[in-house]
Amino acid sequence: MNRDKVLQSIKGKLKLIYKQNYKTDYLDSLIELISKWEKANWAQNDQITQKNVYFITYGDSIYENGVPTLETLNKFLKDHVNGVITDVHLLPMFEYTSDDGFSVVDYRQIDANLGDWSHIHSFAKDFRMMYDFVANHLSKSSSWFQGYLNDEEQYKDFFIPHDENFDYSKVVRPRTSPLFHEYKGKNGLKTAWTTFSEDQVDVNPKSFSMLKELTDVILLYANKGASSIRLDAIGFLWKESGTNCMHLEETHEIIKLWRILLDYFKKDTQIITETNVPHKENISYLGNGTDEAHMVYQFALPPLVLHTMTTHDSSKLTSWAKTIDKVSETATYFNFLASHDGIGVRATEGILTDEERKALVDKVVENGGRVSYKNNTDGTQSVYELNINYFDALVNQAEDRTLDMKIKKMIAAHSILFSFIGVPAIYYNSLIGSTNDYKGLEQSGINRRINREKFEVSYIRDALVNDERRSKVFKSLSELIQLRQAESAFSPYASQKVVDLGPAFFALERENNQTGEKITFILNVTAEKKAVSAAIKGTNILNNVIIDGMVELEAYEFAWIKA
């Protein structure tokens, strides 16, 4: 799109965002911003293919004393996953005050404990980088919020004070803390909207000055090496009286505005929206497949895979998977099983019954995990997420008694991740075979810390060789990824067809129409040997066994059958 068309499109988006409050100088101000960034040097991105596999990690997940953690992490990944992982998702890497990085003090300043922008630049030479943009809220210690408290003119509209004329009755949020908090200001007490915590103050994009700042930040990230940008909790960005203040039209139009600018400056920079909500709401951020997010987090996948592997019944997963279609040639799904957060269950609303969700809750508690809740508009509370390491979450105590069986189940669950349409992302604690971190949980009192354990580099290097659980999980997952990367049928834009072989199996047919390659994935989701007759012929590329109509699989065994 040429500059004139870009400006015309931006003008249209600004009018949709601000409606009757639109002012012509809004466009003039963004033109100034565009002109500034046109003077910068811009590297270009490659398109996403089946070779892209994301690695989700904190910048200090792997550390050594006296060395910037980004340097240590970069070297560790080069040594151990070069050729396996292509994209590194660095969870918030900026100065922060709480929530393990999600209360950002300065969007533009790297946390000194991790390193600085030079370390990010070095990292980007070895891996494609995904940065976290915590666009919905800032730390109360940020200069912007302090300016708001001090009644500085520049920041007077940057945040959202309590308004007695605003109807808050339908507001939906994932926390049980107050929606507003009070803060001591220069001229008395001030209030501010706080979706997540007292230290995480929601920004106000109704102020054009705030939207311009946020837009400058996202362009900064793209210019400083981001191939992907994750929009954290983006569904909460815009607030309107009398609504649930989620997924509002203005939020979608802001993302579309950012897509226009990123396509102009650095095409194929992936916008990835993170909205832990029911599936239909989540996929709304794909827009028409070409104008909004490039990927949406596939939040239904982790709990549905857990349900399937727990009950040995693929019916719910199979039924849901039939609703997942190819989006476009540029948009797809960001698939994961574990992350820095828990296993969200909101995406299963309308898919799993209350009894089925309760069974997962009971299992997680039995396996040493925790449960986090959210407030509902009717004053009740309901389960929001399950906090547990995914390895531990999968275990059925009565039957998964040996380490080998537990490892096999872990790999089986990830075979779904690696086969499903979209781009796979693997959490660092999953790849290195971790289990529940009770020490971190107990020391912090924070449920999510159960799956955020960090490692001294020499310890984890040794463990990947000498610890049976870690070495087997790491080796198996790495080999599976590399095998996947060679098959164009696993392109994130290749078609997907669900093959219903009954509740004991989960099966997909992936086909790349451009290359003609087709692979059928079949997984035995039970703890017993199973056989199934199906009209499938080809070679199982996992073991080179010829398949001709009959597939026999051991407990949790799977096949990739190439026609």
Question: Each residue of 77-112: pLDDT tens digit?
Answer: 999 999 999 999 999 999 999 999 999 999 999 999
pLDDT of residue 377: 72
- pLDDT digits over 186-227, tens only? 999 999 999 999 999 999 999 999 999 999 999 999 999 999
Query: Is 232 assigned a catalytic role?
Result: yes
User: What topology does CATH give the domain 496-562?
Assistant: Immunoglobulin-like (2.60.40)
Q: What confidence score (pLDDT) does residue 176 get?
A: 81
Q: Which helix (H) or strand (E) holds 531?
A: strand 530-540
- Nearest CA among 349, 370, 233, 354 for reference residue 300: 349
Q: What DSSP string runs through 453-511?
A: --EEHHHHHHHHHH-HHHHHHHHHHHHHHHHHHT-GGG-TTSEEEEE---TTEEEEEEE
Q: At how many degrees (to 10) do helices 208-223 and 24-38 cross?
A: 20
Reported as a single tens digit per residue, the pLDDT across 31-50 is 999 999 999 999 999 999 99
pLDDT at 280: 85
Token pair for 187:
């001229």
Identify the pLDDT of residue 84.
97
pLDDT tens-digit readout, 285-315 = 999 999 999 999 999 999 999 999 999 999 9
Residue 474 pLDDT grade (very low, low, confident, very high; cuts 50, 70, 90):
very high
Q: What is the 3-state secondary structure (H, E, C) of 286-345?
A: HCCCCCCCCEEECCCHHHHHHHHHHHCCCHHHHHHHCCCCCCCCCCEEEECCCCCCCEEC
**Percentage, residues of the chain above pLDDT 70:** 100
What is the rounded average pLDDT of the residues 397-423? 97
Quote the CA–CA distance of 409 and 557 in Å, as a whole number: 9
Residue whose structure tokens are 């990230």: 221
- How far from 222 is each of 130, 226, 269, 271, CA to CA, in Å? 9, 5, 7, 10
pLDDT > 80? residue 380: no
The tokens describing 269, both together, are 């920079």
* Section 414-433 average pLDDT: 98
State the pLDDT at residue 215. 98
pLDDT at position 175, please?
83
- Residue whose entry in the numeric block shows the structure tokens 């596939």: 298
Report whether pLDDT(530) > 90. yes
Q: In the prediction, which pLDDT does 220 show? A: 98
Instruction: Specify whether the CB–CB gap between 215 and 258 falls below 8 A.
Output: yes
Average pLDDT over residues 391-413: 97
Q: How many CB atoms lie within 10 A of CB 463?
A: 18
- State the pLDDT confidence band at 173, using cuts at 50, 70 and 90: confident
pLDDT value at residue 376: 76
Strand spans (E) along 37-86: 54-57, 62-63
- Does 403 score more than 90 pLDDT? yes
Amino acid (one-letter) located at 457: V
Q: pLDDT of 109-160, one tens digit each?
A: 999 999 999 999 999 999 999 999 999 999 999 999 999 999 999 999 999 9
Q: State the first-to-last Cα distance of the chain, in angstroms, to the nearest integer.
A: 40
Instruction: Report the pLDDT averaged over residues 337-343.
Output: 95
Cα–Cα distance list, 165 to 161, 180, 242, 250, 381 (Å): 12, 15, 10, 21, 26
Beta-strand pair 495-499/188-193 = unpaired
pLDDT attached to residue 191: 98
- Give yes or no for a contact between 387 and 371, defined as CB atoms under 8 angstroms apart: yes
pLDDT per residue as tens digits for the range 231-247: 999 999 999 999 999 99
Span 330-342, mean pLDDT?
96
C-alpha dist (Å) from residue 127 to 81, 82, 146: 10, 9, 36
pTM: 0.96
Which is it for strands 545-553 and 87-90: parallel, antiparallel or unpaired? unpaired
Using a pLDDT cut of 90, give the percent of the chain over it. 94
Which one is catalytic: 60, 132, 232, 263? 232
Please give the mean pLDDT across all residues of the chain.
96
**pLDDT of 487:** 98
| Residue 11 predicted with pLDDT over 90 | yes
**Pairing state between β 188-193 and 381-387:** unpaired
pLDDT of residue 339: 95
What pLDDT is attached to residue 449? 96
Residue 277 has pLDDT above 90, yes or no: no
> CA-CA distances (angstroms) from residue 141 to 132, 146, 194, 504?
19, 6, 14, 53
Q: Using CA atoms, how far apart are residues 267 and 423, in angstroms rounded to an integer?
A: 18
- Mean pLDDT (whole number) for 254-261: 98
